[in-house]
Amino acid sequence: MKIVCKTSDLLQTLQFVSRAVSSQQALPILQNILLQTESGTCRVSATDLELSITSILPVTVEKEGSITVPVKALLNFVQYNSQEETTLEVIAEGKLRCASVQTKTILCSEPTEHYPKIEMLKEKDQVFFEPLSLLEGLHLTTFAAARSSLRPVLSGVYVKVQEEGMIVVATDSYRLSEYVLPVSTEGKEVECIVPVKVLEELKGVIGGSQKTKKPSKEEVPLTVAVALSTQQVQFTIGSTRVLSRLIDGRFPNYKQIIPTETKTVATFSVSELTTTVKRMHYFAKEMNNTLTFTFSKGSVHISTPQTQLGSEESTLSVATSGQENKIALSSSYCLDFLSHIEDGEVEMCVQDSMHPAVFRVPGKEYVLHLIMPLRIQEDV
C-alpha cells in the first residue's frame, strides 16, 4: 500500500475515527486503526467492539493495500508534521513508513486479518437531520443520562422517531432532558436506546465537520443520516460513519412524571441565575446541594440551609406569574442545566414542592428540562 494525502485531511480523519479507539489493554489491536484503499480512496476505521467509526480519506493511491497501526503513534507523527503532504507506504510486512519532505517515521503494525471486521448498515430507510439542530439536541440532553451501568437503559439516550419529529430523552431518574427535532422521514416510526458515550462522540464528529466545512452557494447543506437495525444504529455525516450497538431494554414511561399543571412561572436571566447558584453552591453542597426557591410577585428568594460553613440567601427581581410557591432543588443539577443553555432567558415552572420543577427556554417549545424536588430544609 502507498498513498499520498494532505496532512490536514489525515489529521482531521484520525481525530474523527480515534474517538472509537479502545483503551483496553486486554485486546491491544483495538488501540489500532485500519487503513484500507478502495476505488481510489482510503477508508480509515476504528472500533472498540461497541462503537465503530469509519471515514473516507481523500488520497492519491499509488499502490493498493491495507494495514493496521497504533493510532497514537500515527497521530503523533501527523500532529507535529508541518509539511503540506504526507506519504504512507507499507515497506515490509509489519512496517509502515510515514514520510514528508523533511521527516520520516517507521511504525510497527499488525496483520489486518486480526482486526475486527466492521459491517456497516445498508443505507436504506434513513432519517435525515439538520446537523446544528441535532448538535443542539444532543448538547441539551446527553448530560442528563446516568453515568452508572447499574440501570443500563438509563445510561443511554432514548430516541423515538415519529411523524411529528424525533424525540431525544435522557434521564438519571433525578433529572430529565427532552428535545424534539424536526426530521425528514416517510412516516416510519422507530425507537431505540443509544449509549450516551456514542452520542457524546457523535457530537465531536458533527462539531468537527461543521468547523472544517467550507460552504459555497452551489453546495447542498450537510445533513446527518440515521439508519437503524434491530441491534445497531448508524449515523452518517459526510464521508464519516458512526456505528453503535443499541442498549437492550425498555425506557421508562417518563411522560407520567412531567407535571400536568403549572401554578407558578418565573422567567430568569440565565447569566444572573447561574452566577447566583454558583455562589450559593458553596454552602448548598454541605447539605445535599439543597437550594430553596420561594416565589413571590415580581421576585424569587433563593436560600441555602444553615451549615457549618454558614448560609446565604439572595432575592432576584424577575417576571413571575401565578401564585406564591416554594420548592427545593439541587444546586448541582441546576448548574448542570444552566451551563448547557446558550439563550438569555429560562423559565422555571412549578406546581408545588412535591412535584418536579420544569425548565423551558422561551421561544424554544421543543426544549424541556425537569429536576426532581428535594425536601425543604426548614430553619431551626
Domain parsing of the chain, residue ranges: 2-114, 127-254, 258-371
Q: Same CATH fold, 258-371 and 2-114?
A: yes
Residue 39 and residue 124: Cα distance in Å, rounded? 22
Superfamily designation of domain 258-371: DNA Polymerase III, subunit A, domain 2 (3.10.150.10)
Query: Residue 214: pLDDT above 60?
Result: no
Query: Residue 380: pLDDT above 50?
Result: no
> pTM, whole model, 2 decimals?
0.87
pLDDT computed for residue 211 by the predictor = 59
More confident residue, 111 or 20: 20
Could you please state the CATH topology (level 3) that the domain comprising 127-254 is classified under.
DNA Polymerase III; Chain A, domain 2 (3.10.150)
Q: Over the stretch 84-123, which tens digit does the pLDDT of each residue have?
A: 999 999 998 789 999 998 899 999 988 899 899 998 888 7
pLDDT computed for residue 220 by the predictor = 42
Query: Residue 36: pLDDT above 80?
Result: yes
Query: Residue 216: pLDDT above 70?
Result: no
Query: Residue 28: pLDDT above 90?
Result: no
Q: Which grid cell sits at 365?
A: 417549545
Any idea which residue has 508534521 for its cell?
81
Cβ contact 257:373 at 8 Å: no
Say if residue 252 is exposed, middle or buried (CB neighbours under 10 Å; 0-12, 13-18, 19+): middle
Q: Which grid cell sits at 6?
A: 494532505
pLDDT computed for residue 259 by the predictor = 95
DSSP string over 15-52: HHHGGG----SSSGGGGEEEEEEETTEEEEEEE-SSEE
The pLDDT > 70 percentage for the chain reads 94
- Residues 17-46 have a mean pLDDT of 89
CATH classification code of 2-114: 3.10.150.10
What is the pLDDT of the chain when averaged over all its residues?
90
